[in-house]
Amino acid sequence: MITPVKTNLFASQAPLEWAVIGNGLLFTAQIPIDADGQVVEGGIEAQVRQTLDNLEHTLRKAGAGMHALTQVLIYVTRRDDLATVNRVYAEYVQEPYPNRAAIIVSGFAREEMRVEMVAYAAIAAE
């Protein structure tokens, strides 16, 4: 059984929840959209910050924080963006760091997106 996490993120028209909890683990995928559902402008740094802000918001709504992350999968469309991703990511996470992977992809469902993150976190039982 899964429990959806109620967030204040833009309500997607796709059949999805921004995050669910199952067996004490939070499962989420975050993208660089603002409160209006628009992909943020300003290049990779702005997109990474928005994605991480959305992730942090989701974790708070689940009763946790960035410290609860167990794994983060980062998808980018440009290998050259990884240095910026690493720099900004380091502002949001602290030791002990979650397990992490970075994957270069050819694109996303929304063409203007340059980053997407899939994350898992340990959530304390209520």
Give 81-104 pLDDT, tens digit per residue: 999 999 999 999 999 999 999 999
Instruction: Give the separation between CA 90 and CA 54, rounded to whole angstroms.
Output: 16
| Structural domain range at position 72 | 28-119
Q: What is the pTM of this model?
A: 0.96
Question: Ramachandran region of residue 23, left (φ > 0), alpha (ψ -120 to 50) or beta?
Answer: left
Half-sphere exposure of 12 (CA within 13 A, CB side): 14
In a domain, 89, yes or no: yes
Residue 124 reports pLDDT greater than 90:
no
Residue with tokens 């995050």: 19
What domain count does the chain have? 1
In a domain, 2, yes or no: no
In a domain, 40, yes or no: yes
Q: Taking a C-beta distance cutoff of 8 angstroms, is the pair 48, 59 a contact?
A: no
pLDDT (0 to 100) of residue 12: 87
Closest residue by Cα to residue 70 from 16, 23, 126: 23
CATH at residue 94: 3.30.1330.40
